[in-house]
């Protein structure tokens, strides 16, 4: 049986009569002529005329055939009924939050799951595997199997998540399971978030991707972010909340919004343009330190209710906190800690002292800066990594041999410290800071006062070979080329390495006027000006041992990480609050344009997948006809009697 992808294109077959019409219109009209040598002429050319007429008819036939075949090929004929393909199949079901959207009384997920089940049933004779791209996990039936028992069971128990299903990852996994050959059916609502990152152009040649439409694409409003300014909330200082409300519909809307933060609340009717967003602001001054939460709500009634409420949480600190740890047993005036503490205190930090064990136990919680100098052990590596992952700054002062060995989270250190050199005992002159990148924000206070930096001299330091900065941004160097100050971004945090010991026996930093200025600048940089979203997206990794979800159920960490799988206000120890929200991208239910959006119903896709395309053959046949026509027509034109 033959079906057509573009049946209307069959009408183009009418063009096939064009050569006949052209031939008829342009044919040579024979004029009557009496010729005495007609007998001779007839005997001389009789056979030739017959051959020429035959060739002309063949040329005409070939032209008609070529056009008719090309028109048929344009109609995209598909032939079925020649047996079922044995190509393996992978069914990928989108379980992202956008699949929770409701239209026509059912969710896109329920429709998609039914379509996936229908596909699994229809394609069960073929080796089949199913994958569910959920919020936090990618679940897959074990292996390619005939009968699709495990796949059907997986699909039957699948539930939609609250996060952004990783369809691109699921497709990549499906390609691996199919070993480079087979059909992948992606059942999705076709929203922008679902199909972002899916690049059909990079699939192997043997893999065909079929997008199955689960329906949806309705109008939606959502709270997509709650930002806070400043990024570090300090008790007694004003805090500005900003909630962004998006209108993913084709008409402008006035959206009622209720904003609440502790005792303060605000209700507004917010005009939001179609396809745009608007902000709602609320200012509050937290009186005490502790955890402060906020929530923004818009009334339900659109396609997706999960994004109509968003919680946010920030920790209010009494002041900018710094934890200073290390220096082993040396706490005398010549040690490194005392000048460090003094400098940070002078810069406005509330300084707490700790050692490596205390850091490992969580002493850095709530601190925006952790400074270590002469840390005797590597116990605090995980804590330092978590601190930086949470946006904190680690001031790493290289004093002892152990300092050089600390590798937070196994990361490459920003510099590779070389051997420690005692210049004075070696009879060498102290080194001076030779070069500093004065345009860097860290050295902003030294603008016009460069000698303050260049006067710092080192008697003992680690000689770091030039170029061994390990990806760090070298901000200043000693006269021999060793790194003096380096910086590297680790996640959202910062690793600031200081190869200038604060100990008086090592360098003149502590006695220099540059030190208070440097500490002040570090303090200013530690207080983030703004935090873009005070909520964590569902499925994100949180470095906490456990949390209670909004219903009070406890979730324990695996491998030191927690992945909350639904939105709401989660609680930890000591009153810690973690706001978990639907990813902002899931609110946009509009269909993506372009190639990836050519989704069709399961029946259509199934029919297409089971049919063999005939058009390449027809096109090839048309080309053959065309070539034959050129050859025969050439022979007609060059025919020699």
How crowded is the C-beta side of 453, counted as CA atoms within 13 Å? 24
Contact 323, 329 (CB under 8 A): no
Distance between CA atoms of residues 374 and 336, nearest Å:
7
Determine contact, residues 255/245, Cβ cutoff 8 Å: yes
Q: Which residues of 2-35 are buried (b: 16+ CB within 10 A; e: fewer)?
A: eebeeeebbebbeebeebeeeeeeeeeeeeeeee
Map the footprint of other proteins across residues 27-66, applying CB under 8 A: 28-46, 48-49, 52
* Near other proteins in 81-140, by CB under 8 A: none
CA of 248: how far to CAs of 254, 257, 524, in Å? 13, 16, 39
Q: Quote the least distance from Cβ 639 to other proteins, whole Å.
A: 7
Q: Which is nearer to other proteins, 551 or 638 (CB)?
A: 638
Contacts of 560 (CB under 8 A, 6+ apart): 382, 543, 545
| Contact assessment for residue 244 and residue 225, using Cβ atoms and an 8 Å cutoff | yes
Shortest Å, Cβ 28 to other proteins: 4
Q: Which of residues 449-508 bind other proteins (CB under 8 A)?
A: none
Cα dihedral: 630, 636, 639, 641 (round 10): 160
| Rounded alpha-carbon distances, angstroms, from residue 618 to 8, 13, 72, 177, 557 | 17, 13, 7, 34, 60
What does the alpha-carbon distance between residue 145 and residue 127 come to, in Å, rounded to a whole number? 5
Report in angstroms how near the CB of residue 633 gets to other proteins at its nearest. 14
Q: What one-character DSSP code corresponds to residue 1?
A: -
Nearer to other proteins, 53 or 511 (CB): 53
Is residue 390 reached through a cis peptide bond, with omega within 30 degrees of 0 on the bond before it?
no
Residue 582 structure tokens: 């639907």
Apex CA 192: angle with CA 188 and CA 195, to 5°? 50
Six token digits for residue 71: 């028109």
Q: Which stretch binds other proteins (CB under 8 A): 76-84, 492-500, 531-539, 633-641?
A: 633-641
Angle at the Cα of 134 from the Cα atoms of 132 and 140, rounded to 5 degrees: 30
Question: Residue 338 corresponds to which tokens in the numbers above?
Answer: 């005392």
Rg of the chain over CA atoms, in angstroms? 37
Which is closer to other proteins, CB of 31 or CB of 558?
Answer: 31
Contact between residue 397 and residue 340 where contact means Cβ atoms under 8 Å apart? yes
Query: Is 39 or 593 the residue whose CB approaches other proteins more closely?
Result: 39
CA terminus-to-terminus distance, the chain:
49
Helix H or strand E encompassing 323: strand 321-326
Residues whose CB is less than 8 angstroms from the CB of residue 157 and which lie 6 or more positions away in sequence, other chains included: none
Q: How far apart are CA 54 and CA 68, in angstroms?
A: 21
Do 130 and 140 form a contact (C-beta atoms < 8 A)?
yes
Name the burial class of residue 443, with classes exposed (0-12), middle (13-18) and buried (19+) by CB atoms within 10 angstroms of its CB: buried
- How far is C-alpha 108 from the chain's CA centre? 23
Buried b vs exposed e over 219-244: b needs ≥16 C-beta within 10 Å?
bbbbbbbbbbbbbbbbbeeebebbbb
Q: How far is CA 342 from CA 118, 191, 216, 324, 458, in A?
A: 71, 56, 61, 11, 20
Q: Are 80 and 610 in contact (CB under 8 A)?
A: yes
For the CB of residue 27, give the shortest distance to other proteins in the complex, in Å: 8
Nearest approach, Cβ of 59 to other proteins (angstroms)?
Answer: 15
CB of 51 to other proteins, least distance (A): 10
The token pair at 632 is 């025969």
Stretch that binds other proteins, among 22-30, 109-117, 420-428, 605-613 (CB under 8 A): 22-30
Question: Judged by CB under 8 A, does residue 205 bind other proteins?
Answer: no
Would you call the peptide bond into 230 cis, given omega within 30 degrees of 0 as the criterion?
yes
Footprint on this chain of other proteins (rule: CB under 8 A): 28-46, 48-49, 52, 639-641
């Amino acid at each position: 049986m033959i079906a057509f992808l573009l049946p209307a294109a069959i009408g183009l077959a009418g063009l096939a009569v064009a050569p006949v019409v052209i031939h008829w219109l342009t044919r040579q009209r024979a004029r009557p002529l009496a010729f005495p040598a007609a007998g001779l002429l007839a005997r001389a050319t009789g056979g030739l005329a017959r051959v020429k007429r035959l060739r002309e008819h063949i040329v005409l036939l070939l032209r008609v055939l070529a056009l008719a075949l090309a028109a048929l090929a344009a109609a995209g004929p598909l032939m079925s009924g020649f047996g079922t393909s044995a190509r393996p199949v992978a069914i990928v079901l989108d379980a992202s939050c956008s699949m929770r959207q409701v239209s026509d009384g059912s969710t896109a997920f329920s429709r998609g799951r039914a379509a996936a089940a229908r596909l699994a049933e229809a394609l069960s004779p073929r080796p089949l595997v199913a994958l569910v791209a959920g919020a936090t996990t990618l679940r897959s039936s074990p292996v390619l199997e005939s009968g699709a028992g495990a796949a059907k069971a997986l699909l039957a128990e699948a539930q939609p998540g609250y996060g952004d299903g990783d369809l691109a990852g699921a497709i990549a996994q499906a390609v691996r399971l199919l070993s480079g050959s087979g059909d992948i059916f992606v059942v999705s609502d076709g929203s922008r978030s679902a199909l972002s990152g899916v690049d059909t152009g990079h699939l192997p040649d043997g893999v065909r991707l079929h997008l199955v439409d689960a329906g949806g694409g309705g109008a939606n409003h959502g709270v997509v972010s709650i930002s806070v300014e400043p990024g570090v909330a300090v008790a007694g200082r004003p805090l500005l909340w900003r909630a962004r409300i998006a209108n993913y519909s084709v008409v402008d809307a006035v959206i009622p919004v209720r904003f609440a933060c502790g005792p303060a609340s605000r209700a507004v009717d917010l005009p939001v343009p179609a396809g745009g967003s608007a902000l709602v602001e609320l200012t509050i001054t937290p009186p005490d330190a502790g955890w402060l939460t906020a929530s923004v709500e818009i009334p339900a009634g659109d396609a997706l209710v999960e994004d109509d409420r968003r919680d946010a949480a920030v920790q209010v600190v009494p002041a900018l906190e710094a934890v200073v740890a290390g220096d082993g047993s040396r706490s005398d005036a010549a040690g490194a800690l005392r000048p460090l503490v003094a400098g940070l205190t002078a810069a406005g930090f509330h300084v707490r002292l700790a050692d490596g064990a205390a850091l490992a136990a969580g002493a850095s919680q709530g601190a925006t800066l952790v400074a270590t100098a002469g840390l005797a052990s590597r116990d605090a590596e995980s804590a330092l990594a978590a601190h930086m992952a949470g946006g904190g700054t680690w001031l790493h002062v290289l004093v002892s041999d152990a300092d050089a060995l600390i590798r937070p989270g196994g990361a490459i250190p920003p510099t590779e410290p070389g051997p420690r050199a005692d210049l004075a005992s070696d009879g060498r002159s102290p080194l001076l800071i030779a070069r500093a990148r004065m345009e860097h924000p860290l050295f902003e206070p030294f603008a016009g006062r460069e000698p303050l930096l260049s006067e710092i001299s080192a008697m003992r330091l680690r000689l770091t070979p030039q170029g061994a900065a390990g990806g760090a941004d070298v901000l200043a160097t000693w006269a021999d080329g060793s790194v003096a100050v380096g910086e590297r971004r680790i996640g959202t945090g910062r690793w600031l390495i200081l190869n200038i010991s604060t100990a008086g026996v090592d360098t003149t930093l502590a006695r220099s006027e540059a030190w208070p200025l440097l500490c002040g600048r570090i303090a200013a940089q530690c207080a983030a000006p703004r935090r873009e979203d005070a909520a964590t997206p569902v499925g994100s990794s949180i470095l906490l041992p456990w949390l209670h979800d909004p219903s009070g159920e406890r979730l324990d960490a695996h491998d030191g990480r927690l992945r909350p799988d639904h939105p709401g206000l989660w609680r930890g120890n000591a009153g810690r609050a973690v706001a978990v929200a639907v990813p902002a991208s899931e609110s946009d239910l509009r269909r993506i344009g372009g190639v990836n959006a050519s989704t069709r119903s399961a029946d259509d896709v199934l029919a297409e997948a089971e049919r063999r395309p005939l058009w390449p053959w027809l096109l090839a046949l048309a080309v053959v006809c065309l070539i034959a026509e050129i050859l025969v027509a050439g022979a007609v034109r060059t025919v020699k009697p």
